[in-house]
Amino acid sequence: MTIPDTHTDVLTERPKRADARRNEEKLLTAAREAFAERGAETSLEDIARRAEVGIGTLYRHFPTRPALLEAVYTDEVEQICRSADDFAALEPWEALTAWLRRYAGFAATKHALFAELLPYIGQDAEVFQSCKTAIRTTGDALLQRAQEAGVVRPDVTFMDVARMVGGIATIRMAEQDEIERILDVALDGLRPRG
């Protein structure tokens, strides 16, 4: 199965020069790690240090804090969409649930970045709409394939499933094994009855 490559059409492209791309990737990785550890309030100087580049390099790529947050958010969305290809050879149920488990991990990060970006750019910002479209397109393809195979009930939409998985992934005060157990129960509810 091939997942439609709409995420590359919808999301913005970044510079192509090799050294610039390497620095940008180092900054995105450092920012992602720093935001995961300490939240979106992490200083830009700390991110530049982690990436082993100067603060000037960070500002050349991301002139403002919101620009960096938006780039990390978009990069996370691109990665989760591309990751569907990792499961293309699996049976429809396994492909869907494996991707949804990966989506659950992404949902917690996405939620934090969304909350930090929201005051800067607003909920109707193009980046949010583009990212939502890319995720929905990827998820729809996996869900539809599973529904056509008869392994997922026909009365659910991807947005139903995404909200369910996202809600479970962001349960406060729950240990990771509890989240995984709850997710197992919820995913089992997608199977056809009777």
The CA-CA-CA angle for residues 100, 103, 104, to 5°, reads 90
The backbone torsions φ and ψ at residue 89, rounded to the nearest 5 degrees and listed phi first, read -85, -10
Domains defined along the chain, listed by start:
6-188 (1.10.357.10)
Q: Given a cut of 70, is residue 55 above it in pLDDT? A: yes
State the pTM of this model. 0.80
Virtual CA dihedral for 82, 58, 31, 129, nearest 10 degrees? -50
* pLDDT tens for each residue of 122-139: 777 888 889 999 999 999
Is pLDDT at 147 greater than 90 in this prediction? yes
Residue closest to 182 by CA, chosen among 108, 104, 109, 112: 104
Q: For position 1, what pLDDT does the model report?
A: 43
**Cα(106)–Cα(45) distance, integer angstroms:** 25
pLDDT tens digits along 62-114: 999 889 989 998 999 999 999 999 999 999 999 999 999 999 988 877 777 77
